[in-house]
Chain A
Amino acid sequence: MSGLLPLIEHAVKKPIWDCRMCGQCVLHSTGMTCPMTCPKTLRNGPCGGVREDGRCEVVPEMECVWAKAFRRNHTLPLPKVWREEFNHTRPPVDNTLEGTSSWINLVTGRDRKTPTGWSGAVADAASEAADHAGVGAALVELDEAGV
């Protein structure tokens, strides 16, 4: 099922939202407008290059994704909590989730996992060691241990 779900999700979301399968869907907080369709994949609002007529700097034939998102966030019948999330800061995209099902990642909470430093925390040595996996990380530890 976990192999099939991304296919089903893409089949549903691609025609409606031009879904790019980032695996960490934030549509509800962006006026039901996919920020990954912004040529700069901006997840926290429009760049400074929006044209005078509201069109995209990169693709002039297209309305700015964030101009559309802003309008829709006010005009679509969305729950109040979704509307309020519009101004939240969305974290950097987790590129390891690309191509996976955001539905599964929502249920498991995986899509809300952010790097330790995003929340302002400093990783302690133990959890840092636990986070390290693989030869590269082992070399880092060796180096830091001074052996």
Chain B
Amino acid sequence: MSHLEELLTARTRPVVTAELPAVNSGGLGAVARHLETLAPHVDAINATDNPAAHAHASNVAIAIAITQLGAEPIMQIVCRDKNRIAIQADLVGAALFGVENICALTGDDVTAGDEPEARRVFDLDGPQLVRVAAGIGAGHYLSGRAIDPAPHLFVGAVENPYAPPLEYRVDRAAKKSQNGARFLQLQIGYHFDRLETFVSGCVAAGITQRTALLPTICLVKTPRALSFMDENVPGISVPTEVIGKVAEAADPKEATYQLALEQARHALSLPGVAGIHLADFRHDGSVARIVDDLGLRTQQNEEQHAHGSQLAG
């Protein structure tokens, strides 16, 4: 059983996960360097799958690398690039190397990337992928062909509480939960009210008993980054007053950090939230700082910290 599964099953303290920056080259050392700054402060690290439809070192390779470097990966899988056969092969292949945590996403469209002329696949959709992955964990491929022994998997997904149709998002979370999602890493968002509505809806629907909610906190450097996301990333809207408040601050860079801290405190205050997921675009030690400011450092973190120091050495 993965560390993440243990923590999200026990729910004795808030869990912290974070995203590994995309890697393109530089051998395992490139992955290790990212882990040095992240691993000591978080419980598990997402290996992304061609984020924003840009090709990078694959989710499977990065997830295995994270495992071999002594940290715990959450292997993201998007539906955009591979059909059901290839995705299942990735799931069982990564599991051979001890990759247990899986996060299923629909995935940005190919038009969001730098190769918009590529063929989009979407042979499975998000909820279907959750069910297929859960099936593999239960010992069979989608075809029904047995996998013996069954790989142990801990399957989760992503949901966006901030994008329309807002009234439907809890139902969609329920669908993923019913199909086997044990955690949901939520999309980046800046509408506090929408997160509250979504989380309380999930609690009322009984989703949070089975499926842990991890809102994403995005660490950016500048108010301009907030405007950029608002204008260019479909599914993310940043209210004008939020951008204005940060832009007018005496120290905008510090103000963007304080915004993230405020968001994290708010998210963790909501009954039904089991932790947070960090997307760090500051790369200035803010992951360590926010975990510290939130008082989330734990014994497990300390143990990982010790291991991280070994890595660094």
Contact = CB atoms under 8 A, between A and B. Distances in A.
A67 interface: yes
Interface string A36-72: 0001111111111111111001100000101100110
B109 A39 contact: yes
Contacts of B126: 42, 44-45, 47
A92 B106 contact: no
Contact of B143 (A48, A87, A117): A117
A80 B244 CA distance: 46
B235 A51 contact: yes
Interface centre among B80, B120, B143, B158, by most chain A C-beta atoms within 10 angstroms, is B143
Given A42-B122, A51-B235, A115 B144 contact: yes
A139 interface: no
**Interface majority SS (helix, strand, loop, mixed), chain B:** loop
Contacts of A89: 127-128, 131, 175, 178-179
B163 A117 contact: no
Nearest to B148: A122
Contact of B160 (A41, A48, A118): A48
A120 B180 CA distance: 11
B140 A117 contact: yes
Nearest to A41: B122
Interface residues of B, number: 48
A47 B106 contact: yes
B144 A116 contact: yes
B50 interface: no
Interface stretch (B165-173, B260-268, B273-281): B165-173
A46 B139 contact: no
A18 interface: no
A70 to B, nearest CB: 5
B123 to A, nearest CB: 7
Interface residues of A, number: 39
A121 interface: yes
Contacts of A78: none
A47 B122 CA distance: 11
Contacts of A117: 132, 135, 140-145
**Interface majority SS (helix, strand, loop, mixed), chain A:** loop
A12 to B, nearest CB: 26
A70 B165 contact: yes
A123 B143 contact: yes
B144 A39 contact: no
Nearest to A86: B171
Contacts of B108: 49, 57
Given A40-B125, A50-B164, A71-B165, A87 B175 contact: yes
B68 interface: no
A122 B144 contact: yes
B187 interface: yes
Contacts of B159: 48
Contact of A87 (B106, B145, B167, B174): B174
Interface string A105-122: 000000000011110111
Interface of A: 39-54, 57-58, 64, 66-67, 70-71, 87, 89, 91-93, 95, 115-118, 120-123, 128, 131
Given A93-B123, A120-B140, 9 more contacts: A40-B80, A43-B125, A45-B125, A47-B107, A49-B235, A58-B109, A116-B140, A117-B144, A122-B145
